[in-house]
Chain A
Amino acid sequence: MIRFEQVTKRYGRHDAPALAELDLTLCTGELTVLVGPSGCGKTTTLRLINRLEEASAGRIIIDDMPIDDLDVIDLRRGIGYVMQHSGLFPHRTVAENIAVVPRLLGWKRARIRARVDELITLVGLDTGLAGRYPHQLSGGQQQRVGVARALAADPPILLMDEPFAAVDPIVRTRLQDELRSLQARLQKTIVFVTHDIDEAIRLGDRIAIFAEGGRLAQYAPPTDVLAAPADDFVADFLGADRDLKRLALFSAADASAMSPSPVADPGTTDIRAIAQAAGVNWVFWRDADGAPSGWQYLDETAPQAVGTVIGPADSLRKALGAILQSPLGAVPRVDAQGRLDGVLDRAALAAVLA
């Protein structure tokens, strides 16, 4: 647990504070995202944690220890740090860069070598890259090395300052996914800075939204922030497509399907009754295995191809896209076994957001 107690940071004695009386508790094992417009104090907050900056007032406590009571070098060696432009040492190979902290800590050679190999695989790098120098790597590979270096001594805390901001959007999405699965396995306490609200929503267990002048505007899980922005600043920052972003956080399994859903099983003769019960003029057909096999208007004689099918793990944002494209304004949802278990329409999605 990392606790900020009334922390203020001024760079110059007479400057406006970069951070103003911050009270914030970051939970162990969670990924907390600090997000906000440029200059609002995110980097400052991060750098206070490993004392790259010293607070002007207030204190920061890690696991009941005020960090001012710790030796600053020990503190830093126990906290991983990843920055936007990897900050890799240009004169060290990939393997040597990753080995930096273990070497500072005086690990045995064999142990370091084993750990480096393990990390190269963990962050998804090709082992053939171990002997390369940073300038021989792509931006995405450099960021992976940066992450591996930060994780090398297995620190419980990881600080990441816009680590994916300098890579192209496709690589960024992949690195985000990898970070999420890495975090699912490692359960580190991660503090992640970004100014990209979408990245914050994708990654954060909790997000802390900062406003100008280092004011903490809201601190909550992404779903809560999207559902109930604390003020106009947060609502603006989330953007006009806030509901779309929220939908992206729900999976299809979270929605209640139309009740009753207009679904016909093989051998059904009176599809009209089924459709009318649901208040529509069409039905989805299920085959003998329960899988969706097509759909049919009441006044037509043959079913049409089924089209997009939504799985239980698909996001509701994807479901909405499919609903908008369907002539019916509805999509079939299947369960994990691929059996059609209900039909989703706009009302079903609206009910989730309500």
Chain B
Amino acid sequence: MLRVESVVKSFGGFKAVDGVNLHVGAGEIVAVIGPNGAGKTTLFHLLTGHLSPDSGRILFKGKEIGGLSPHVICRRGITRSFQVVNIFPRLSVFENVQIAVLSRERKTFRIFSPVKGMAEEEVHRILRSVALFDQRDVESDLLSHGDKKVLEIAVALSGNPELLILDEPTAGMAPEETERCIRLIRKLSEESGLTILFCEHDIALVFEIANRIMVMVRGATVVQGSGEEVRRNSEVQSAYLGESGEC
């Protein structure tokens, strides 16, 4: 579904992403791991159009998407969450999801029909599925950190993506929030067959839920394979796992 071939992105002279290869098949959960500053976030920005690659190819469903605008890539079927919570802080939980649903339905240029109550059923269904229904009228800025992260996933889901990209979905979460988030990711994958690409520092969690893992160090792909293959890879052990354990 997604194929990344020797993609490079540099800032000034510094190559933040320097030859990444990645393959994500339909229905898979793929994790990207790597130490701080390895270029994971930069890679995700390249995939969703927030940055354009200097060279290399990014193919989604067989078509080149490198360099397209974020909103175009979203419409092609990729939505995402960000490492730092990224929602509409002044809008309610309900409205955050509603605006995403309306965007997907291309209704954002309706200027005279009242927005109130539009797409209500679907928004409620989405909020129930992520257990935020009871807080639907809360101004989203007032949510707990964990709930904000989950809301952002809900917003991303509202676009009915084929590929969901999550940049450190559990970062900063309390243990029980992390647990809930993992269950959510599993459920999405199992129930709707959603393809998920995520990165995460919690190695145990990664090995627990990912079908395949790609290891990135200093901007480059070291290896991509099953958990077992990655564990056996000596380069990974020396460059990453062995040296710093869970970083």
Tell whether A pairs with B.
no
Query: B-contacting residues of A (Cβ < 8 Å)?
Result: none
